Structure 1
């Protein structure tokens, strides 16, 4: 096996010692590979160069946005991708490897790695492999990002904006040709993480979350903690292969933990073959 390893030393829990750690793990397992530590502004080009060298696998030690970008660049016909946990939330790495440190996940992949085809979702050309949230609740992620950057003033400003937007701009949606609906937020879960979908299910789990006020929000919060949110009366759950969502302005969203702004009308579709993951054998 020949691998490329990209370490984003500026990300979350990676650190400047990561390249040396990665080289030591490669040597320990007798794997030929190059380790990259791109500088500021060089990450995307480094991922592209690594993929263009046609390795057997690309191992990425970085945050959620970089993990999603690498998987999206590779696609179903590119090299296997190992998105190792190096960020804050690590949604895709934890879904594939569990909540373990990246050196352990990397060693496991090199010791007994095998291919696993991962499905996902697509919203106006943007892919996600774990979950997407559309609607005003996604604005809280923008406040979180400002806080992570040390901008307390901006985080407070965005938190206030999220509070103002709550219940003020509902989404309209159509899923798989069913009747139109209105909702405060629409959540889409991939088979990789949904407790209600089989791993090979050819659809996304769609949940329209439409609390009418503070009491409904409190009850939904309790049900989410207890794992009973699918049975909450303010939630409508179903399957989705294709769909449309629109609103009165640009739609705030979270794709695999990363906040984005979408157009005021978007198309959703299920992608049965999104990318090839390198995972340890069971």
Structure 2
């Protein structure tokens, strides 16, 4: 079946911008620009559409209006599809969206697609046995702060206090993570290492906190998911990275913000998404 300009919208009502008003504004603008929303999936309430379902509906564009975690699941599900994916800023940080569209707001991104000014790319990603990371991967005991953010999202003050206490203890006392291949940074490791896919390889950034002031600054950065505002060192870039914890236990991970675990030394490799993505920055600039 020939594809048309209609959109299959995938969203998550728990994501940052997915209230009724935001969804209505998105649908209205897409319709006005000749790209009507013809099908809607609310994940995880609904199953993600398969490439076969999109093809059967004659859909050419799947729009992802959600946070990085939902986008991760959708891109995995759409791998191998012959259509195009439009990532929109429906979450908190919207890291992948900004890689694809820079400082464009959502209206500008939709206009670029509707006018034919957007290109397609197979965006860089990180592959591992634990799963894929399209926006990035975090590793180490510092990933435990994700539970605090979830309590904040649910406005659970008691849970937030409890989780913050446990996360701080785990960050300080949990086994640190080290980059062993290539051998970069401190042999004794760090509480958190961030891996970011780029055109030139996986960028490796290590975060540390060694004084009271640094602990406070790093804690605020972790809570806000703005890791770069915390004390850190950029260790370098590589196409393949092997991390391991210093000591016993499992390696805590966040794959696009979603928790996972790995045991032993874990390898992360630069790859490319399995589906075309729309972008105004095909050269990464």
Q: Which runs of 5+ in 2 are unaligned?
A: 220-225
TM score, norm. by length of structure 1? 0.77
Match of 1:128 in 2: 133
Q: Once the 2 structures are TM-superposed, how far is the Cα of residue 127 of structure 1 from its aligned partner?
A: 1.4
Q: Once the 2 structures are TM-superposed, how far is the Cα of residue 64 of structure 1 from its aligned partner?
A: 1.8
1:78-93 equivalences in 2 (<5 Å) = 78-93=82-97
Q: Which runs of 5+ in 1 are unaligned?
A: 192-199
Match of 1:197 in 2: none
Match of 2:254 in 1: 254
Provide closer, same or farther for how the CA distance between residues 10 and 102 of structure 1 changes in structure 2, counting only shifts above 3 A: farther
Find the aligned partners of 1:20 and 1:211 in 2 and give their Cα distance. Answer: 44
Q: Once the 2 structures are TM-superposed, how far is the Cα of residue 40 of structure 1 from its aligned partner?
A: 5.8
Q: Once the 2 structures are TM-superposed, how far is the Cα of residue 29 of structure 1 from its aligned partner?
A: 2.4
SS at match of 1:6: strand
Deviation by residue 1:147-182 (Cα, 9 ceiling, x = unmatched): 101222222111111111123211243224779943
Work out whether 1:159 is the aligned partner of 2:159.
Answer: no
Find the aligned partners of 2:158 and 2:229 in 1 and give their Cα distance. Answer: 36
Q: Contact between 2:10 and 2:63, CA under 8 Å: does it hold in 1?
A: yes
Provide closer, same or farther for how the CA distance between residues 88 and 281 of structure 1 changes in structure 2, counting only shifts above 3 A: closer
Find the aligned partners of 1:165 and 1:22 in 2 and give their Cα distance. Answer: 41
Work out whether 1:189 is the aligned partner of 2:189.
Answer: no
TM score, norm. by length of structure 2? 0.76
Q: Contact between 1:122 and 1:270, CA under 8 Å: does it hold in 2?
A: yes
Match of 2:271 in 1: 271
SS at match of 2:112: helix
Q: After superposing the two structures, state which structure 1 stretch, 151-160 or 205-214, moved more.
A: 205-214
Provide closer, same or farther for how the CA distance between residues 143 and 48 of structure 1 changes in structure 2, counting only shifts above 3 A: farther
Q: Once the 2 structures are TM-superposed, how far is the Cα of residue 49 of structure 1 from its aligned partner?
A: 6.7
Find 1:25's aligned residue among 22, 29, 44. 29
Work out whether 1:105 is the aligned partner of 2:104.
Answer: no
1:147-226 equivalences in 2 (<5 Å) = 147-168=152-173, 169-176=175-182, 181-184=187-190, 185-191=192-198, 200-201=199-200, 203-214=201-212, 217=215
